Each structure stands twice: as structure tokens, then as C-alpha cells.
Structure 1
Amino acid sequence: MKLQPNKPNKPNKQEKPLLGITMGDPAGIGPEVITKAMASRTLRTICRPLVIGSMPVLERTIKSLKLTLKAVPVKDHEAMPLSQGTVAVLDPLEAPLGRFSPGVAAAETGAASVSFIKKAVTLAQLGCIDGIVTAPINKEAINLAGCHYPGHTELLADLTQAKESGMMIVGGPLRIMFVTTHVAIKDLPGLLTQDKIEKGIRLAQLALTQLYGIRKPKIGVAALNPHAGEHGLFGDEEARVILPAARAAQAQGILASDPLPADTLFGKAAKGQYDGVVAMYHDQGLIPLKLVAFGTCVNLTVGLPIIRTSVDHGTAFDIVGKGIADPGSLLEAVKLAAKIANGRKSARSS
């Protein structure tokens, strides 16, 4: 098997998707969760994995965890080893990564993590890989390296020149699109605009129809305030921006709800009454998600021209080197990326 552009007109239904798994920040738990996932038999039943990251770091991680794995270097178009016990690694760094302190944000490891992402995006855009699964980067480290993005989502949107993209996190029975993410609660009311909420609803519709194959998804739109504002008693965001956004989406044929109290909406979604939820802010969506699917949530970037899923956890600097990092979220991210890739291949062949 060659690492080369796929041929969309002649898909091989028997061939598992080729997924690029980026290492993330080498000083974080990315190398550990990747090697643990590679050591399990589960991952190879799902896809053909290609690790995009630092070869020396991966080798050290395998050794420290005492895993029966062997890292094998590959180039862009070389044949890749697929046998159990081998890890195909594409290291895009011009020089081996120097010494760094595990669990500490640094410009060197931040720059390396960005290099891994850029290489993966290039391969995906060329059709050499079917999708990307990303281990966590550290926002402080990439900014120290001069890459001034708040996270993966914004960097990927820029690299792929996506017109519109956003973060959906899935876990258990919930699929949640976010209008805002990492912002201070005190700034939230001023950041919620009708345009941003309409965008969140559009992206939720896009994800549920194109990535999940739901023909007419029902989308629950969360209110910001308790009791959906109680007719203005607890706030006017519902009447001022959320309801107009929902009604605009409804006028376009999207089955979006009017703003609903969040304390009941997520329970209804968990029972299947809604296919997805649009949350107004980070914790509004993440608290119920992690309550029902802690450790197995997956971050899905919607709106990119390539497939990208990610773990739903950070670099966890506090547990680096302890050998206790859980690869569960990475395995779930691989499963979702493979499912979407297989769906696209089936659609092309039909």
C-alpha cells in the first residue's frame, strides 16, 4: 500500500480509511495516548493509522511505557508497514526535536505541534490521507512559537481557507454545536449576536445532514438565561438575538426550535427528541456532555473541506510521564473519523 492520493472514482470498499493522527504537543499526553491506542487491536480494525509527529519522542514514549511496538519511519509516498506491533511515523520536522521539559509549555514543542498539523492538512488536501485525528495542542505553547490562534479549530479553518467552520462535540447520545467557546462569562452577552447564532444552527444542520446522514434533523436551540429569560424577567437575549436567529433558520427549512431552557433541553436531546443541540457557551454544552460521556467525547470540526476529529481533552501537563493517560477519547475520535470517511466513500460509489 502506498501513501498516495486516493482515487475517488474507484473506491475500494474493503480498504479501511487511511487516517493521519497528529501527535499534538510532544510535552503533553498526546504521545502516550497515541502509543496506547496503537498497542490495542481496536485501532487497526478501524483504520490504517499514520502517526504524524516526532519519531524520537514516539520511540521514547514506547520505551517508557514498555510497549511491544516498533516505530517505523515513512516518507510521503513510501510503502507503509501495517503489521500488528509496528507504528508508521511521518516526522515532518527538518531537524529532530531537541530536549524539552515534559509537562511544560515551550516554544519548541508548540512549533513542532503546529508543524504536525500543517503536514496533516497538506496530506489531506492532496487526498493522500482520508482524514485527520488530532491529539491535543497547548494554546500557550503555540502562541510562544508565534502561532497566534486560540486553538485547533481556528488554525485549521485558516489553513484550509474554510469559509465557515465551528466546533461540534459529540458523546453518548448528545451532539452539541457551540456558538461561543473559550470566552469569559462576563463577556458572553455582548458576544452573542443573531449572525453568530444563525451560523451555529447552520453548522449543526450541516453536520447532522452531511456527516451523520440525517435527512431532516431536529435541532434544539438552547436559551442563555434561566427559564429562557421568563419573558424578559431574567434577560432579553432570547427575544433580542436567539429567537430571531432560530426563526431565520426555520424560514430556511431548518427544523430548529425556538430558544428552550437548557436545564430541560439537554435531557430531551439525550432521550432522542432532538438530533443535535446548539449551545450558547462552553460549559452549557460541556457539562451535560461530560456527565454522560466523560473520557469518550470527540471534537468534530464542521465546515472544513477535510475530515477532522479530535480528543476532547487538553495536554494534561499535570499527569505527563505517569503512564495513566486514558486513550479512550482518541479511539472514539478515530472511530468517528473512520465512520465519516467510509460514508463519503460510499456516497461517491453510489
Structure 2
Amino acid sequence: MTHTRPVAISCGEPAGIGPEIAAKAWAELRTSCPMLWLGDPRHLPAGTPYQEVAQPQDAAAICPQALPVLKVPFAGDANTGTPDPRNASGVIAAIETAISLVRAGEASAVCTAPIHKKALIDGASFAYPGHTEFLAHLVGRDRVVMMLASDQLRVVPTTIHIALSEVPRALTPDLLRETIAITAEGLRRQFGISKPRIAVAGLNPHAGEGGAMGREELEWIAPLIAELQSPDMTLTGPHPADTMFHATARARYDAAVCMYHDQALIPIKTLDFDRGVNVTLGLPFIRTSPDHGTAFDIAGTGQANPSSMIEALKMAQRMALATSG
């Protein structure tokens, strides 16, 4: 194995496909990517070879033969397809433990399995829109950036989980400036790209078409891009979003900064639905996650596709090696 500190996997919602895709990912990567699953082993699929460990440094030696497990007690069993709010505290504890391990240097990165926000709200009064905001809270960061990444494309939405009608008000020069800065630093530090190339999308159709379809591009987006030009990155735009994502255009940049959720996520999910990875930039540690939800409709059936979890673990390992190098 090339990296002995394990990637810590928080179990996510046990009634969803998280335990199944973790077990399948371990079977695929057990000799190449040391990992440590944090959760209640009762929730793993029947027959999963696992071994409880007392300390994370034991995971690398165990991983080729069994899934290393750092046990986090849960209140209830996992009824696949039906989340139990009693398990909310365990889901949160697994995330917090994973973060503690990576911040202490005992894990190389964190990979989070999908959570179910309603179950966390019902069972533990969870006060965050999602994983990303909770992780930022745990480390005292006011601003982090969500990147969706695959071998074909990296995209960053500047505004995330808000109504489309709220985007023009939420999208400010300061927000876009900070998003670009965090994206550029993440590409350098965690992806090993010394001079990142970032393409910025326009907000309006055809990037406003000279003011005929909106004036944000003229009034502040283009001036901000000009202001942020520097020798250590190539920054272009604002580009019409409808011509940014074909193969020739994608070859010109390392990441696309988009203005809102669907503008960023539709292209990557169309190009590489099963292998997209959610990466949080701006945290003091590496965090990846599969780019899908809990999939209650197929939980427990054995049908869950582990590709995104496999890619999330592989990307976490690559990022850890780039960071340590």
C-alpha cells in the first residue's frame, strides 16, 4: 500500500445504501487503499468480512483481509429503506469521530457516506442544510466550497441549496471572489495543479449577450474576473454556460466555477453520473463523498452501485498523497 494512514469512512444513514457501498468499495480497493469504516457493524450487509480495531493505525494491516471497523454504537438496528430517528446521534457521532481522526493525523482523509437530513432533524435536531455546512461548523469555517469532480469534469457552484429565484440576490462579488480563491487554492494544494485554469460561467443566457439578456456580466462579473487575474492562475469568462461543457471546451480548464446548483451539477451528472465525487474545498482536511443520496428504494437489495464511493475513496487517497507531497 502506498499510504498507510487510512481514509476514514463515516457510515452515513444506516437504513440507506451507505453500508452496502462501503462493503463493496472495500472489496474492490482492499489491497490498494487502506480504509477504516466508522459505524455499528450490525448495520453492515450480512456476510461482510470485518474486524473491529482499537486504533486507526491497525487498519492498513487488516484491510487486505477484512474491512477495518472502528465501532460507533447506535441505538437501533438498520431497517433498510426506513430511517430510524433513534440512530441520528450515531450518524452524527461517526462524522465527528472521523473528523477528529483526520485532524489528529490518524487518518489521511474523510469520506462521508450519504446522510438523511430529515432523520437527523427528527432524531437530533440537526440544524444544518447538509454535510458540507456541518463540517464547516465543526472546524469553525465560515465559508467552504462544494466541488463535484470526476475524470471528465470538475465543477463548483457558487450558490448551492437555495431557490433559483434567490440566486441573483445571493450572488455577490464577495461571494464569487471567495469561491474562486478557495477553488484555486484547492486545485493547487489538494489536486497538485500548480497553475490552475478556471473558467467562470455567466449568470444569464449567453452570458447576458452584451446586456440584452441581463446585466450582471457587464456590471460586475467581467470586471471581477479582470481584477482577479494573476500569474499563478488562468481565469477566463464569463462564458455562456451552454457552450462550456462539450469536450473541446472542457479541455481548456481544470475547473468550472458556476453561478448556481443546477448550472454546475447537470453537466457532471450527465457526463459521469455513477463516478462523480463530492469534494469540500476550504476545510483544513480532505473530505470526499459519493455524489448521490441514500437510495432508500434499493437499500438492502444488493443493487447499489458502488462506483461513486470507489471513486470518492480513490480521489481522497490521491489528494492525500498530493497534499503530503
Cα-to-partner distance string for 1:285-322 (whole Å, 9 max, x where unaligned): 11110121110000111011111111000111122122
Letter in 2 for 1:263: D
Find the counterpart in structure 2 of residue 33 from structure 1: 21
Cα-to-partner distance string for 1:123-154 (whole Å, 9 max, x where unaligned): 11111111111111112222222121111111
Aligned pairs for 1:94-243 within 5 A:
96-99=74-77, 101-144=79-122, 145-243=124-222
CA drift of 1:172 comes to 2.7
Letter in 1 for 2:72: P
- CA shift in 2, pair 1:173/1:75, >3 Å: same
Aligned pairs for 1:304-323 within 5 A:
304-323=283-302
8 Å Cα contact 2:114/2:290 also seen in 1? yes
Write the distance in 1 (CA, Å) between the matches of 2:9 and 2:135: 15
Letter in 1 for 2:245: F
Find the counterpart in structure 1 of residue 49 from structure 2: 70
Cα-to-partner distance string for 1:192-213 (whole Å, 9 max, x where unaligned): 1111111111122112211122
* 1:53 equivalent in alignment to 2:32: no
* 1:82 equivalent in alignment to 2:68: no
Q: Between the two proteins, what is the percent identity of the paired residues? A: 39
Write the distance in 2 (CA, Å) between the matches of 1:327 and 1:77: 23
CA drift of 1:254 comes to 3.9
The TM-score normalised by the length of structure 2 is 0.92
8 Å Cα contact 2:7/2:108 also seen in 1? yes
* 1:277 equivalent in alignment to 2:256: yes
CA drift of 1:334 comes to 0.6
Write the distance in 1 (CA, Å) between the matches of 2:221 and 2:86: 43
Letter in 1 for 2:223: P
Find the counterpart in structure 2 of residue 23 from structure 1: 11
Which SS does the other structure have where 1:317 is aligned?
A: coil
Write the distance in 2 (CA, Å) between the matches of 1:338 and 1:46: 10
CA drift of 1:253 comes to 5.6
Farther off after superposition, 253-262 or 49-58: 253-262
RMSD: 2.1
Farther off after superposition, 81-90 or 327-336: 81-90
8 Å Cα contact 1:17/1:341 also seen in 2? no
* 1:325 equivalent in alignment to 2:304: yes
8 Å Cα contact 2:203/2:217 also seen in 1? yes
- CA shift in 2, pair 1:239/1:107, >3 Å: farther
8 Å Cα contact 2:202/2:259 also seen in 1? yes
Stretches of structure 2 lacking an aligned partner (at least 5 in a row) = none
The TM-score normalised by the length of structure 1 is 0.86
Stretches of structure 1 lacking an aligned partner (at least 5 in a row) = 1-12
Aligned pairs for 1:329-340 within 5 A:
329-340=308-319
Write the distance in 1 (CA, Å) between the matches of 2:277 and 2:58: 30
- CA shift in 2, pair 1:155/1:342, >3 Å: same
